[in-house]
Structure 1
Amino acid sequence: MNFRYDINGLRAIAVIAVVIFHFDPTWLPGGFAGVDVFFVISGFLMTSIIFRGFEKSSFNLVKFYIARANRIVPALAALCLAVLLAGWFILFPAEYAALGKHAASSVAFISNFVYWQEAGYFDAASHEKWLLHTWSLAVEWQFYLLYPLILLALKPLLGVNKLRHAVLALTLAFLLFSIETSALWPSASYYLLATRSWELLAGGLVFLYPVSLRESQARVVAWIGILLIGLAYAIVDATHPWPGTLAIIPVLGTAMVIMASVQNSWLTNNWLFQPLGRWSYSIYLWHWPLVVFGYRYDIEYWWVAGVTLSVLFGFLSYRFIENIRWQRIESLPGLWRAKPVWIGALALVTGLTIMTNQGLTERFTPQMQSLLSSMSPSPYREKCHIDDYDDPDNACEYENNNVTWAVFGDSHSVELAYALADRLARQDQGIKHYTFSGCAPSLLQENGTSRCTRWYKEAVADIISDKRIDSVLINHRYSWALFGDHVPDYPAVPQDDDPERTARILRSFDAAIRELASQKSQVIIVYPVPEIARTVPLLVASGYLFKDNTEQIIGTTRAYYEKRNAVILEHLKSTAYPDNVKMIRPADTWCDEANCYAVKGGKALYFDSNHPSVFGAQALISLMPQEWLESSGLKTGAL
């Protein structure tokens, strides 16, 4: 084909949108749809290559794969190796091991499956994954592998002329499948080829069903296509199921621009878009690690440097990596002749080595290793903490068969349970562990009101009926239950927009306390744990790289803690509980008058931005006087 200036301009329009969205989503909330534009372009180009080969009886599957590898692998492998090299100096072992895994999956083109299993694309944790954007390359490569095979299988049955009807049928079928699954399984739908393939196939339809337009008509069609793409960028955001029905807008817009084939339009063929279009693949590769770097170190106005560096690195990658004419090694068979295969293999082996060696902990001093190891959750979190209903009678019991305590609550109680069990084990007592993820107090609600209402009621009943249990420690992420996560609004605090709901949750909490206190010798309430500005690994990373200080790191201010938790703090202070209800106040040890700390004495109090680490939980349990622990043991005859 002759060089398509319109397609090259579309690439620029796509990459500009993606880069803007990732550096600041508020500027272009639907900018992620730029990926959909890329998919349509790829589908058009691949279909044209395959069908032209069919028409001339010259299509060679191996050569097709080698050409795709030459196009994609070198720049991708170079990026992965560069990020792995940088990670040696700045990433902690767990992060580095995860990066190794992600790099290996990226060059193996299975990263879309990996990220699908780990988290959603728009989750906060996505900003800690340096190669998250390679999911789209995995989708494209999977399409490149399967699409020609399917066409080759159908070609003898249908012939070349009727084969296009099969592509149309597949496009419609996968579109309907995508619309359905985007609503039911949004994360899977976002990442997987089955729900993205209709976009690539839609590009193929533009080639297979050409439309003849006069120049004036073509310009109108191109204009409408650009407007549709811009409309998607403007009206869509991360709350919409994607790629659902709304994805038709940018897909249709891109198809219209390609169909119009206007080569001299200033919309696509201008002094800015043409070079950006040529560099677009490499810009796309480099921009996301730069986004993550700025997020990791919380660099103010990072978008200025980040966008500039994205374009600069993109140009350099295009000039010195993409433009290299990779010669084949003629003495090797098949795909192994392609040198990019060996470059990808180097990145794959490097990533797997880092992953299997658990991030190469020996890179750090013993003091730093001690800090890093303190950022750990309970070893029983996966086994004993539930996210869906399970009979409370099945709750874990540890570290001693002489169960005298129950720990009850949401995910903020998990590490407290482990720390308490560890302390009780020294005097031959054990605990029973009742925790349900994100479970707000709901004792007085109707079953089915929330996903944990039934469990909450049954757990309280199970604790009461278990005569071994004499003491109960209860804890919740109270302000999350009342107002939601603190991260999106930090350092602002939410308003109480639903006082009736707040009152209902607090009544349920009090009812649980009073019911347990009436049946057990003591109930220990843990006050709110401070929620900090950023995750501990990110705070430590900034202290390690820029400040050379990891002994004591501020997590947030004492004023923020008190504002964020004002409702529950006032409630706990003003409510008259039975005499056998006692309190632990984390702020007494984790905060001073001005600040609340994420790291104290070279040890992390958290493993993320709100959950206590095992070390932090041990610090809280140490606030409990010994007589609180001995009272249960004495009553049950343990001591």
Structure 2
Amino acid sequence: MSAATAGVRHVTAGDGRAATHPYFPGIDGLRALAVLGVVLFHVHESWMPGGFVGVDVFFVISGYVVAQSVSEANPSSLSDYFIWFYRRRFARIFPALFLYVIVVEILGMLFIPGGRETQYIAMTGTSSLFGLSNVVLFFKSGDYFSPGTAFNTFTHTWSLAVEEQYYFIFPFFSYWLIARRSAGKSKIALAVLVAATLGSLLACWLVTRRSHEFAFYMLPTRFWELGIGFLLKLALSRERRAISGGRGMAVVGAVGFVVLIASFVLTPSDPFPFPFAIPACLGTAAVIACIVTMPTHWANVLLTREWLRHVGRISYSLYLWHWGVVVLLRWTVGLDTSVLRVIAFAATFALAEASYHWVERPIRSAAWLKTISAPRYFATFGGVAALLAVSCTALDGAKPTLGLAASNDVTVWDAYAWPGAASAQCANQKRSVHFGGGQLTTWSPACAPAAPAGLFVLGDSHAGAYTRMLWQVAASGRYDVRLYSLGGCRPIQTLANTTIPACDAFLNRSIADIRARARPGDVIFLPALAVPRVRDGDGSLRTPEGPVGAQDRQRNRVRLGQLLSTGARVIIEEPKPVTAVELVRCADPFNRISDYCRIGPDLPRSMLEKRAAPARALYAALAQPGVYYWDPFPALCDTPECHGYLDGRPLYSDTDHLSGFANDLLLPNFLQFVDRVRADTGTGPLDQTANAQHGVVTK
């Protein structure tokens, strides 16, 4: 029998009965194309610009192959079928995943810094042990194509979570459609499967534009890809044979192969997954149909090359390990040169071969796993997952003491941690809750007077980066502090086309809450990123955004007027300087040598002042009684060149969010300024003329 023709592989049912189902070598070759596309895209995007569709190809393949793998099952009951199916899936997925998670978590503890920027990495890894990493990524990390997810060593496990969640649904369909066929129930199950597949595609269409993250990460908007594979298996089954070989199939297979290959190069990432995942999925389905019905077709002959089949066999391990290699290199020596990219590629294959030969194959064929009872079997996997989850949490907590990254020193770097200042006059507790799609953090000093003044802080993630300073403001005993923050959401918009979809709802709710609570004599502080970043997280230079439009200017005036209507005084934060590189990525000998870090963080003050000028002009146009301007720029940069470090301590955690040290540095000036604003009579150095000239800050 030639490599291009179907063979027969023996499988074992849950009760020990022998079963057979056909094996198609070309599908291994198809897996190889999928995983190579993903790996090449992640190692260097220009090598395979649309390579991310390899995951969509995997979904269609999985939909077909998993349905094919149960085609000869003959269970005695639904429970027997469930046990048999899940025993096989657990042995297939979890051993290699368990190894990956613990090894990468150990390396991450050593080389990836702790702090706000990396706080969800361990959570993502832990959740992947239970098939929930896509949920964590949706709620915590945002867009798959964003810089934040590019530095999470467990981002790629979202697709495994989608498949694992699909496996909880699959047996309900496959039992009546494949394992225990009966005319009436099979028709109902088929109708439900078709409806679920079409409904998922419709949901993907509707949701992609409204919530790209949900559409990308979640099963309801991805089910259709797996459903295509499942329905294809039913159409190709011997009993139905709705699809057969012939001249028409030869054309379909050829077109499908060309479309599939083109999708690896031409697929754009926006909007995605709808509609641009469709060509790759349909192309994959066409190629699978050709492989099954026309084993001598040229596409199948190409896909059955031995090296491609081998890559397909180790594709799961390749997919697991490639991302850890890529991200750990990004956190350390970088991935900026051809040599480093080749090293990443070689290391990925070496780790995949080891994982496949020493973990995947031995455990899948282990005799002792096949003989133990179902309760003990699943308890073993569950116990290992729980132990690893505890270990990952402990390793993440050990970063400050065992990690090698200098930025693990929270007393200097972390803007969200209490510094333990001995001078704190008043004990208070930080409380954080979800609020309007963002975060509400409050501090109520225990020793404050019966009705302390209120300090309301509203802004984007840069408002959140003042957490440590605000905590200490509350500890002064003079203010009851409320912080409303949502990343990318600025109450005074100074950067064009940068507003996130949830911003309006968050600002409306936050402003309503402030208006219900604020009184004359209170202070409202509006900090936000106002200066365009110089470089993106991937190191590329960023073109400054254009001026905000008339609509944003009007919104600025309306929101400011709503806040002033409370009788409170409003402080607008003037633009802060930014740096050229993310300091957290460039603070150690093992990462400072990367191309990204080599240019250093420092920038000319004149350049930053020029970038800040549009925001200053917008703020000046808002000058009116009750509006004040606090300028942290002189305290952060008082020389012709703005530095990322002051006396060896970082002013920023990344390129623009303040460090814990910078919070401590700005605290005295800010607290004094707030006190002066509250005491201002309109005739002293804080009068409105000075406001308009930005002359209200003492260094």
Q: What TM-score comes out, normalization by structure 2 length?
A: 0.73
| Within-5 A mapping of 1:429-578 | 429=479, 438-441=489-492, 451=504, 455=508, 466-469=519-522, 473-479=525-531, 487=536, 492-495=541-544, 497=546, 499=547, 501=548, 526-540=573-587, 542-543=588-589, 555-558=601-604, 561-562=608-609, 564-568=611-615
* CA deviation profile, 1:391-416 (whole Å, cap 9, x unmatched): xxx99675444317665654433454
- 1:388-447 per-residue CA deviation (whole Å, 9 max, x = no partner) reads 699xxx99675444317665654433454762673475474555657665124269xxxx
Tell me by how many angstroms 1:465 deviates. Answer: 8.1
Q: What are the residue-to-residue correspondences of 1:335-354 with 2, within 5 Å? A: 336-337=376-377, 342=380, 345-346=383-384, 348-354=386-392
Counterpart for residue 328 of structure 1:
368
CA contact (8 A) 2:577 2:642 kept: no
Q: Could you tell me which of 329, 333, 356 is aligned with 1:318? A: 356
- Judged with a 3 Å threshold, the aligned counterparts in structure 2 of structure 1 residues 566 and 85 are, in CA distance, closer, same or farther, namely same
Deviation at 1:199, TM superposition (A): 1.7
Structure 1 residue runs of 5 or longer lacking an equivalent are none
8 Å CA contact 1:22–1:291 kept in 2: the answer is yes
Of 600, 606, 619, the residue aligned with 2:652 is 606
3-state DSSP of counterpart to 1:555: coil
Distance 1:620 1:398 in 2: 21
The Cα shift of 1:83 comes to 1.0
8 Å CA contact 1:228, 1:250 repeated in 2: yes
CA contact (8 A) 1:413 1:475 kept: yes
1:56 to 1:269, Cα distance in 2 relative to 1, 3 A: farther
Higher relative contact order at CA 8 Å, sep ≥6: structure 1 or structure 2?
A: 1
Q: Which of 293, 302, 317 is the matching residue for 2:328?
A: 293
Aligned equivalent of 2:643: 596
Q: Percent identity, aligned pairs only? A: 23
* Residues 561 and 439 (structure 1), Cα distance of their counterparts in 2 relative to 1, 3 Å cut: same
Task: Verify the 8 A CA contact 2:519 2:566 in the aligned structure 1.
Answer: no
Is the counterpart of residue 254 in structure 1 residue 284 in structure 2?
A: yes
Shifted more, 17-26 versus 93-102: the winner is: 93-102
Whether the 8 Å contact between 2:534 and 2:578 is mirrored in structure 1 is no
Equivalent residue, structure 2, for 1:74:
95
Query: Cα distance 1:466–1:148, how it changes in 2: closer, same or farther (>3 A)?
Result: closer
Distance apart, 1:322 and its partner CA: 2.3
Given candidates 218, 226, 237, the residue that maps to 2:268 is 237
1:402 aligns with 2:475: no
Compute the TM-score of the two structures, normalised by the length of structure 1.
Answer: 0.79
Conserved? CA contact 2:263–2:280, under 8 Å: yes
* Aligned CA distance change for structure 1 residues 347 and 543 (closer, same or farther; 3 Å): farther
**What is the rounded CA distance, in whole Å, between the counterparts of 2:435 and 2:539 in structure 1?**
28
Cα separation, partners in 2 of 1:37 and 1:622, compared to 1, 3 Å:
same
Q: Which residue of 2 aligns with 1:136?
A: 159
Q: C-alpha deviations, 1:152-200, integer Å up to 9, x for none?
A: 3675764686465654444334333433343444322322223322222
Within the candidate set 244, 247, 269, 2:304 is matched to 269
Per-residue CA distance 1:1-38 (angstroms, 9 max, x = gap): 44422211111111111112222334434322111111
CA distance in 2, matches of 1:212, 1:514: 67
Cα offset, 1:356, TM superposition:
5.5
Q: In structure 2, the residue corresponding to 1:35 is in which secondary structure?
A: helix
2:108 is aligned to 87
Judged with a 3 Å threshold, the aligned counterparts in structure 2 of structure 1 residues 395 and 90 are, in CA distance, closer, same or farther, namely closer
Q: Residue 113 in 1 paired to residue 135 in 2?
A: yes
Looking at secondary structure, tell me which structure has more helix per residue: 1
2:235 aligned with 1:186, yes or no? no
Please say if residues 572 and 627 of structure 2, whose CA atoms lie closer than 8 Å, have aligned partners that are also in contact.
no
Quote the offset at 1:373 in angstroms: 6.2
Cα RMSD of the aligned pairs, angstroms, is 4.7
Give the CA deviation at 1:450: 7.7
Give the counterpart letter for 1:234 in structure 2.
V
The structure 2 residue matched to 1:355, chosen from 389, 393, 397, is 393
Distance between the aligned counterparts of 2:168 and 2:441, measured in 1?
Answer: 47
Distance 2:569 2:227 in 1: 65
Measured after TM superposition, the shift of residue 61 of structure 1 is 3.7
Question: Structure 1 residues 290 and 77, CA, compared in 2 at 3 Å: closer, same or farther?
Answer: same
Cα offset, 1:281, TM superposition: 1.3
Partner of 1:53, secondary structure, is coil
- Alignment size in residue pairs: 614
Could you say which residue in structure 1 is the equivalent of 2:341?
303
Mean Cα deviation higher: 87-96 or 303-312: 87-96
Q: Does structure 2 retain, via aligned residues, the 8 Å contact 1:554–1:596?
A: no
- Which residue number in structure 2 is paired with residue 146 of structure 1? 169
SS in 2 for 1:478: coil
Q: Distance in 2 between matches of 1:125 and 1:323?
A: 34
Contact 2:101–2:125 (CA<8 Å) still a contact in 1? yes
Q: 1:504 to 1:53 in 2, by over 3 A?
A: closer
User: Aligned partners of 1:555, 1:601: CA distance in 2, in Å?
Assistant: 14
Matched, 1:618 2:699: no
CA distance in 2, matches of 1:606, 1:555: 10
Equivalent pair of 1:48/1:207 in contact (CA under 8 Å): yes
Question: Residue 377 of structure 1: which of 402, 416, 428 is its match?
Answer: 416
| Cross-structure match for 2:696 | none
